Amino acid sequence: MTVSATTDEARASHVGIKLNNISKRYGDHVVLDDVSLNVEPGTVTALIGPSGAGKSTFLRCINLLERPDSGTIRVAGHTIEPGKNVSARDLAALRRSVGMVFQSFNLFPHMTALKNVSFPQQRVLGRSKEEADERSMQLLERVGLKEKAGQHPGRCSGGQQQRIAIARALALDPSIMLFDEPTSALDPEVGLEVLSVMRELAADGMTMVVVTHEMQFARDVSDTLVVMADCKIIEQGDPRAIMSDPQETRTRRFLRAVLER
Amino acid sequence: MTWLAQWAGYLPQMMSGLGVSLLIAGISIAAGYPLGLALSMMVSAKNLAVRTLGLAVVEIGRGAPALVILYLFYYGLPKFGIAFESITAACLALTWNAAAYSSEIMRAGIQSVARGQTEASNALGISQRDTFFRVVMPQGMRSAIPGLMGVAIQMFQGTSLAYAIAVPELMKSAYNIGSQDFNYLQIFALAGICYAVISMPATWITVFFEKRLARHA
Amino acid sequence: MDAFSAVLQGLPMTLTLTLSAFAIGIIGAVPLAVALTSPVAPVKLVARIFVDLVRGVPIIVWLFLLKFGIQIGTFKFNPVSAAIVGLGIVSVAYLAEIYRGGLQAVPRGQLEASHALGLPQSSTFFGVVVPQAFRIVSPSIATYLVGLLKDSSIASTIIVSEMVFQSQAFARQHPTVEGILPYILVGILYIGLSLPVAYLSRTLDARMRKAVFA
């Protein structure tokens, strides 16, 4: 299932993420202060840091769920300057190539699991119902939930809902996946199901950015660890190196708080 | 016993009145719901003129007594040469009422849909139109159901005001019978029972839906 | 006389009807709400049937029943007293239902905490439950008052000379285009009168929510 080196290179030119000088404020309250980040294609980046650091906001800037006040966003070959007007077509193209998974799943409760995965394919990619359903079943099988296809989300556990949500995002064949604390609303045991799906995705070469509190996952799976605090990136690099020997006192304080409890 | 015998005698005439009441209620609800949806969309529109117009229609429909709107259509507009049959005027007035009330209920229902639903839809690249009509609206309407049922009951009871413009509905039938034999107590008690027999079970069903929704929320 | 002063002539009566019925309702609803939440099943059932029956019958029917249907000896209701009593009874039923909702919305934990502290029944009810319930229901009460103001117009059908009755009278005397004016003015007046109450309700709503649930 690993993506071959040649396609990797072919995709390399346009599937990475480059965020330059992103700033965002709500009124007088600064949320992001001139933040820049590069994500190489095919890599996994974990965003960690204390709550209120701006991790989620920063992640949501990548697909413009949050509109930064200034900066440049280059995602999957699209360049967007959010300070200016963004055309609906650019926005649609950007979002088609970026999948997102939310902390609270946000499945559509009035649709079955299958419909949840098929509906966006039909509407966004123009696939026929048959094509969409076929693809949906493949993906539901891949996340281990084929038998839940006909159920509504309310009938599924949190872990199952999150895996359906991952299938829904994957169904649009994104080149990048964003995860916003995907296991925070789940019991630790159930979170493991979700993390294992994410590990498989990473092994298949998906470009991923993950906001998480799962330190083990961040250490084992991510290629780059990014530590945010006070609306800025304070440290980034090899996850093992940072975790064993943080350079910043703020990082050290945070890691001690989460690792030594 | 004499009461029951008298009631049995009154009943045929009352039933034809009840039929008219149900007809008016049915028409004003059937027209009021879709108009209410349109108004709720106007009220949340970006365009200021559209929004103001929607808001005015809603606020008048909710803020002025139904009786006043009824009189406006039946006695007021003819002075401009626009005349309606009394039953048409009743339907128009109650439709306005129903539309205004249901628009507010639908708007509240739509606003109650979790923000995450819109966000997920946006993140998937689903168009604004589909996001509204296929994702947000079906969920919002679901939570609006008890409120909309309440509007239907309110409209059914509101048809009794059409008595004031001589529509031959239930109340008018009762009054006509009463002015023949002056048994006002019996006849209005019977009228009350006719309304209650429909309104009370309808209210219970509404409460049932409300509780069910609350449980599944 | 112009249309506006004609309509205004009915204003004192509209306010009298509304406030009298509201006063009856506010007080009369208290025992009924207690009955609605009573642990004694028959008491609860009777209260429930009363509330649902009163609300299941349109106001105009109650007014006609009282005005034309009631005759005890030589006593008959005059139009104004029939309207006040009728609107009052209806208010009792609606407000009792609102109170009941408030009483039941107070979290169970509050009762449990009071019991655990050994507070007597009366202090639990009047000192803990009622103040919280009042905060929860006060916006609904304000909303009901606005509805009652509008419903008082129904008294015009039993010849109480409130605002709508006065509008009708003026319109009948003016068959020309001018005759539409009182209806428009009276509509605006009702909306204008309900604005302060609606505003109060909205601020109460926001404030109470903060006070109770923050």
Question: Where do the domains of chain B lie, and which CATH numbers do they carry?
Answer: 2-216 (1.10.3720.10)
pLDDT at A261 over 80: no
CA B123, B124, B125, B131 torsion-angle sign = negative
**Partner chains of A (3+ C-beta pairs under 8 Å):** B
B189 contacts C57? CB cut-off 8 A: no
Look up the pTM and report it: 0.83
Provide Rg for chain A, Cα atoms: 18
Mean pLDDT of B34-56: 94
Q: How much of chain B, in percent, has pLDDT values that exceed 90?
A: 78
Amino acid at B111: Q
pLDDT digits (tens, 9 = 90+) for B47-71: 999 999 999 999 999 999 999 999 9
What residue numbers bound the domain in which C76 lies? 3-213
Q: Round to whole Å and give the CA distance between A95 and B126.
A: 9
Give the pLDDT score at C203. Answer: 79
**Is B189 part of the contact surface with chain C (CB cutoff 8 Å)?**
yes
At CA A157, angle to CA A156 and CA A163, rounded to 5?
A: 85
Based on DSSP, count helices (H) and strands (E) in chain B, helices before strands.
9, 0
Consecutive H or E run containing A129: helix A129-142
pLDDT at A8 over 60: no
Here the tokens at position B151 are 């509007």
| Mutant choice from A110, A111, A124, A180 vs B, greatest count of B C-beta within 10 A | A110
Give the pLDDT score at B4. Answer: 81
Phi, psi of C75, deg, nearest 5: -75, 130
Lowest model confidence (mean pLDDT) among A66-75, B176-185, C107-116? C107-116
A65 contacts B114? CB cut-off 8 A: no
Amino acid at C145: L
Neighbours of C157 (CB within 10 A): 23
Q: Which of C98, C100, C70 is CA-nearest to residue C85?
A: C70
| CATH code where residue C119 lies | 1.10.3720.10
ipTM (interface pTM): 0.91
Lowest model confidence (mean pLDDT) among A119-123, B151-155, C122-126? C122-126
Look at A84 and C196; give whichever has higher pLDDT. Answer: C196
Mean pLDDT of A194-215: 93
Give the full edge-to-edge strand order of the sheet including A176-180: A98-101, A176-180, A207-211, A44-48, A224-229, A232-237
| Mutant choice from B115, B121, B124 vs A, greatest count of A C-beta within 10 A | B124
pLDDT digits (tens, 9 = 90+) for B188-202: 999 999 999 999 999
Give the pLDDT score at A9. Answer: 42
pLDDT at A15 over 80: no
pLDDT at C2 over 50: yes
Contact call for residues B178 and B188 (beta carbons, < 8 A): yes
Give the pLDDT score at A211. Answer: 96
Mean predicted lDDT score pLDDT of chain B:
92
Burial class (CB in 10 A: 0-12, 13-18, 19+), B178: buried
**Is B203 part of the contact surface with chain C (CB cutoff 8 Å)?**
yes
Give the pLDDT score at A13. Answer: 46
Give the pLDDT score at C210. Answer: 63
pLDDT at B155 over 90: yes
Provide Rg for chain C, Cα atoms: 21
Give the pLDDT score at A76. Answer: 78
Give the pLDDT score at A80. Answer: 86
Per residue in B51-86, is it b (16+ CB within 10 Å) or e — as a string?
A: eeebeebbbbbbbbbbbbbbbbbbbbbebeeeebeb
Give the pLDDT score at B1. Answer: 55
A–C contact: 3+ Cβ pairs < 8 A: no
Lowest model confidence (mean pLDDT) among A49-63, B157-171, C8-22, C103-117? C103-117
Lowest model confidence (mean pLDDT) among A38-52, A184-198, C103-117? C103-117
> For residue C156, what pLDDT band results from cuts at 50, 70 and 90?
very high
pLDDT at A1 over 50: no
Lowest model confidence (mean pLDDT) among A44-53, A81-90, B150-159, C137-146? A81-90
Give me the residue from B120, B125, B216 closest to A106, CB to CB.
B120
Give the pLDDT score at C208. Answer: 67
Look at A94 and C95; give whichever has higher pLDDT. Answer: C95
Give the pLDDT score at A12. Answer: 43
Q: Domain-by-domain residue ranges, chain A?
A: 5-259
C180 contacts B76? CB cut-off 8 A: yes
Give the pLDDT score at B126. Answer: 93
**Is B80 part of the contact surface with chain C (CB cutoff 8 Å)?**
yes
Burial class (CB in 10 A: 0-12, 13-18, 19+), C152: buried
pLDDT at C189 over 60: yes
Give the pLDDT score at C211. Answer: 59
Here the tokens at position A7 are 């396609």
Q: Round to whole Å and give the CA distance between B88 and B94.
A: 10
Residues of C with CB under 8 A from a CB of B: 52-53, 55-58, 60-62, 64-65, 68-71, 150-151, 153-154, 156-157, 164, 167-168, 171, 175-180, 183-184, 186-187, 190-191, 194
Q: How much of chain B, in percent, has pLDDT values that exceed 70?
A: 99
Give the pLDDT score at C30. Answer: 93
**Is B199 part of the contact surface with chain C (CB cutoff 8 Å)?**
yes
pLDDT digits (tens, 9 = 90+) for C130-143: 888 888 898 899 99
Q: Are strands A78-80 and A70-75 parallel, antiparallel or unpaired?
A: antiparallel
B127 Cα to chain A: minimum distance (Å): 8
pLDDT at B216 over 70: no
CATH architecture classification, A5-259: 3-Layer(aba) Sandwich (3.40)
Give the pLDDT score at B78. Answer: 85
Give the pLDDT score at B119. Answer: 94
pLDDT digits (tens, 9 = 90+) for A103-161: 999 999 999 999 999 999 998 999 999 999 999 999 999 999 999 999 999 999 999 99
B79 contacts C184? CB cut-off 8 A: no
Residues of B with CB under 8 A from a CB of A: 114, 116-117, 119-127, 130, 134-135, 138-139, 142, 216
Give the pLDDT score at B217. Answer: 53
Identify all chain A residues contacting B112, using CB atoms and an 8 Å cutoff. Answer: none
Identify all chain B residues contacting A108, using CB atoms and an 8 Å cutoff. Answer: 117, 120-121, 135, 139
Mean pLDDT of B28-38: 97
Work out how many domains chain C is built from and give that number. Answer: 1
> For residue A7, what pLDDT band results from cuts at 50, 70 and 90?
very low
B75 contacts C184? CB cut-off 8 A: no
Give the pLDDT score at C90. Answer: 97
A172 Cα to chain B: minimum distance (Å): 8
> For residue A11, what pLDDT band results from cuts at 50, 70 and 90?
very low
Q: Round to whole Å and give the CA distance between C190 and C14.
A: 10
Give the pLDDT score at C198. Answer: 78
Lowest model confidence (mean pLDDT) among C15-24, C45-54, C176-185? C176-185
B216 contacts A95? CB cut-off 8 A: no
pLDDT at A38 over 60: yes
Give the pLDDT score at A14. Answer: 52
